Amino acid sequence: MRKKIIAGNWKMNKTPAEAVQLAESLKGSVNSGKADVIFCVPAIDIIPVAKALEGTNIAVGGQNMYFEDSGAFTGEISAKMLLDAGAKYVIIGHSERRQFFAETDETVNKKVLKAIESGIIPIICVGESLTQREQGITVDLVRLQTKIALKDVSAADAANVVIAYEPIWAIGTGKTATSEQAQEVCKAIRDVVGEIYDKNVSEKIRVQYGGSVNAANAAELFAMPDIDGGLVGGASLKAEFEKIVNY
Ligand code: PEP
């Protein structure tokens, strides 16, 4: 049985001092250990938040990284830097990075490979726009995004990665996919992982849903057979996150 994994994506919110305050205020109530819980915080907040979470089961994650080890890449952060700062996970290919920072399926794959090589677990985001959903190409698109993201990833490593299905039209909009819509695509992701590797990997890999998850819809979404938890944006910055984690 796969353990649920619920990650908060704090996006570009919270100064280091504010981040520590939020981590301190949430940590007691989201620390039962029943689900894996991760705070994906701005890079500058990783060190202080990791320190604030010492002694808990809550992990820290980054929100992006570069695929080179070091060098003349002004403004970028490497996987090793994230790891050394205390991050165990990193979000890769969030739709906001694809939309505003020219992230492509190919750069996602390079980052996934580097994260794995460096010992960081990638949370790979895939998902369709509203137009793509209306064109009826959601499943084809998400299958392709998943295949490219996992290119050259070994079966053993693939079993440990996390894939977040995040329909772009549901992110930050208050419009959640129905549990049936989310289940259909999360199952398609698990199926394509089974085709690339085998049943063993597809049964181990964890697939999250993300897109306006809140205290009212979390339980129904997370009860679906192929949804192993959530990637939560807006609601992860509030006390509501506690209700989502303890759904
Ligand atoms: C996200 O940022 O990954 C996300 C799902 O945001 P929200 O929960 O606010 O829709």
> Domain extents for the chain?
5-245
Mean pLDDT, rounded, for 41-60: 98
* Whole-number pLDDT of residue 58: 98
On the 0-12 / 13-18 / 19+ scale of CB atoms within 10 A, 221 is buried
Between residues 175 and 91, which one has the greater pLDDT? 91
For 177-233, what is each residue's pLDDT tens digit?
Answer: 999 999 999 999 999 999 999 999 999 999 999 999 999 999 999 999 999 999 999
* Whole-number pLDDT of residue 32: 87
Mean pLDDT, rounded, for 9-20: 98
Using most ligand atoms within 8 A of CB, pick from 162, 232, 243 the residue to mutate for ligand 1.
Answer: 232
Average pLDDT of the chain to the nearest whole number? 97
- Using a pLDDT cut of 90, give the percent of the chain over it: 98
* Whole-number pLDDT of residue 232: 98
- How far is ligand 1, taken at its centre, from the CA of residue 9, in Å? 7
Atom of ligand 1 nearest to the CA of 213: 8
Residue whose Cα lies nearest atom 7 of ligand 1: it is 233
* Whole-number pLDDT of residue 69: 98
- Using a pLDDT cut of 70, give the percent of the chain over it: 100
* Whole-number pLDDT of residue 1: 85
**Are the C-beta atoms of 119 and 81 separated by less than 8 Å?**
no
What DSSP string describes the chain?
Answer: -PPPEEEEE--S---HHHHHHHHHHHHTTS-SSSSEEEEE--GGGHHHHHHHTTTSS-EEEES---SSSSSS-TT---HHHHHHHTEEEEEES-HHHHHHS---HHHHHHHHHHHHHHT-EEEEEE---HHHHHTT-HHHHHHHHHHHHTTT--HHHHTT-EEEE--GGGTTSS-PPPHHHHHHHHHHHHHHHHHHS-HHHHHHSEEEEESS--TTTHHHHHTSTT---EEESGGGGSTHHHHHHT-
Mean pLDDT, rounded, for 130-153: 98
For 58-108, what is each residue's pLDDT tens digit?
Answer: 999 999 999 999 999 999 999 999 999 999 999 999 999 999 999 999 999
Residue whose Cα lies nearest atom 8 of ligand 1: it is 233
- How far is ligand 1, taken at its centre, from the CA of residue 176, in Å? 10
Handedness of CA 30, 32, 36, 41 (dihedral sign): positive
236 Cβ inside 6 Å of ligand 1: no
User: What is 5-245's CATH number, 3.30.470.20, 3.40.190.10, 3.40.630.10, 3.20.20.70?
Assistant: 3.20.20.70
